[in-house]
Structure 1
């Protein structure tokens, strides 16, 4: 099972997925129903933004769960099960609890103030529900993962590798995801946050993401071979959904489309993005804290910009610029540089700080 090479393409997929999440949430603020899902809403909507967003929406969250499962595979390489749970507690549970108490309430205050209500402190998971799910999946699945690690040549491990080294394995993965959609019957399919659909689709995607990487080079070679088939089929299903179902297709079709977009994304990322770069190194560190704070920055942008009289297109540009610039500025100038804040946003303590703490302990 031991894999030593760094998978830069998977790092890129995580960064890209979080970037798309920011764009997606910004687009919601410009929809006529944005307030219904708890967003500050522009008085002049831009419904045309929603056409590309509906293509993205069926696979953006499942993709993050796939990537998170892959991340656990790499985190296990030098850790036993207790070490993994400790590392995930520090990296996921602590930021989740901090965000629940201190970050999510901030954008609740902003929306209440914007709409003339008395601001109240209301702790909630908000957009950080994803972190709570991930930590739960680690608790549930880590015994299986470590069984596979210890029995790398056992019947189960060998069977998994054989299955996912050919297209039949992907067909099985699609069937599993379709079964979830049919059994849970989500309405709408894209409602993931704090729902049973979001929990089960996340659990399955997390498990499959781990198994894909565990399966080794055979899986990735097969994925590369079929990359154009995946993207063509995914595009065809999206166009069919747009024309035939006005973007709201049966859940089983949307589940198939979701899988195909995800498979094609991983294939093209492996083909073109599996190489190191300084940009990736920086963004990989920044992505997690930015994910945690982006809703506060987005709501702040809407709170400031929406009351101003200007064309809605200019509002959109300004909200995008404010949200992205604000997120990176807060990360770069505060979160990244204040040692006490780093663990609260999922960042490791800087090496020199760790050495200083160790020195102080020795002196004591």
Structure 2
């Protein structure tokens, strides 16, 4: 199966953006309401680009995760797939909920002189729990589809994906989800019914896009600027605050347009090997797992310093990335007993193809 470097890059970029997004929350006046340490001086202007990002960053990760399953299924039967996903996703999810998530909650309580307490929960690792559930739910369907690899369904799907509007068949499912679930906010994904079903749909269509073949990638590459143009127009409408016109159905469609445009840009520009990518691909999963501890520690250290909000943001960002990558380089990838707990292969000599990893 052809190696897809653009998909590897999308995982890396999406998780990098997620780190910056979470750091930006610290400088919003509502940060404490969702359990983040809050800067005394808000920087609300920082949130404007985040408003553009936050409606497609998580769906993008679920799309890529579904694509990863397509690659993994090419080498495994259903029993092997479930066992491999249990090792790579379920084990880090359980370990993280018990041993990693408590750390940033304790830092939060220490910062605000609150009594120490913790009830085990998924925290920022909710994403892993969702993915494992999707693998359990959808893998039988995916294996059935693989048995019909040369059937009419795949041929029709490939034909549909060759048209500019073809990839938008997914939008009907996302619009239906908005109508049935009625989320309070489109971007409120973590541990919500809305987040579960948005992820399920994105995961499924990530697989479908890979299954349909090269036509999908030719289409999104050819029409990427149309998709991005539509997304930009819808974002401007949303940004202006014309609530009587802008609504969650349009936000859902905007999200799909961003994702398709990003797929096209990545396929055209990033589908090539890179030494940097070879390093980052296995690193982003453990970095994702520990980044909240790094972020809270950075806020605890940097916020009391006499710095401007912008300087604090830059300092916390640098601290977070250094903490995560030094932790990965010096500990997580080198200690054999830690590797499986952070989603890395169980033995150093075994190198997993990054695009097979669903996070």
> Shorter-chain TM-score: which interval?
over 0.9
1:311 corresponds to which of 308, 311, 314? 308
Q: Which residue of 1 is the match for residue 253 of structure 2?
A: 256
The alpha-carbon distance between structure 1 residues 119 and 100, as it changes in their structure 2 partners (threshold 3 A), is same
Q: How many residues align?
A: 351
Contact conserved, 1:54 with 1:247, CA < 8 A, in 2? no
Q: TM-score, normalised by structure 1?
A: 0.93
Shifted more, 145-154 versus 4-13: the winner is 145-154
- Is 1:95 aligned to residue 96 of structure 2? no
Q: Which residue of 2 is the match for residue 78 of structure 1?
A: 75
| RMSD over equivalenced CA pairs, Å | 1.6
Q: Equivalent residue of 1:117, what SS?
A: coil
Instruction: Find the aligned partners of 1:122 and 1:269 in 2 and give their Cα distance.
Output: 40
Give per-residue Cα distances to partners, 1:120-167, cap 9 Å, x unaligned.
243210000000000000000001100111220123333333333323
The alpha-carbon distance between structure 1 residues 184 and 71, as it changes in their structure 2 partners (threshold 3 A), is same
Shifted more, 254-263 versus 177-186: the winner is 177-186
Q: TM-score, normalised by structure 2?
A: 0.95
2:143 corresponds to which of 141, 146, 152? 146
Contact conserved, 1:241 with 1:247, CA < 8 A, in 2? no
Q: Which residue of 2 is the match for residue 274 of structure 1?
A: 271
Task: Please list every run of 5 or more consecutive structure 1 residues that lacks an aligned counterpart in the other structure.
Answer: 355-364
Q: Which residue of 2 is the match for residue 173 of structure 1?
A: 170
Instruction: Find the aligned partners of 1:313 and 1:142 in 2 and give their Cα distance.
Output: 46
1:292 corresponds to which of 289, 292, 312? 289
- Is 1:345 aligned to residue 349 of structure 2? no
Instruction: Find the aligned partners of 1:343 and 1:160 in 2 and give their Cα distance.
Output: 38
1:182 corresponds to which of 170, 179, 184? 179
Contact conserved, 2:336 with 2:348, CA < 8 A, in 1? no
2:9 corresponds to which of 2, 9, 12? 12
- Is 1:30 aligned to residue 31 of structure 2? no
Q: Which residue of 1 is the match for residue 43 of structure 2?
A: 46
Greater relative contact order: 1 or 2 (C-alpha under 8 angstroms, separation 6 or more)? 2
Deviation at residue 247 of structure 1 after TM alignment: 12
- Is 1:216 aligned to residue 213 of structure 2? yes
Instruction: Find the aligned partners of 1:247 and 1:304 in 2 and give their Cα distance.
Output: 44
Contact conserved, 1:165 with 1:215, CA < 8 A, in 2? no
Q: Equivalent residue of 2:251, what SS?
A: helix
- Is 1:124 aligned to residue 124 of structure 2? no
Contact conserved, 2:224 with 2:260, CA < 8 A, in 1? yes
Q: Which residue of 1 is the match for residue 134 of structure 2?
A: 137
Give per-residue Cα distances to partners, 1:52-95, cap 9 Å, x unaligned.
00000000000000000000000111100001001100110000
Q: Equivalent residue of 1:329, what SS?
A: helix
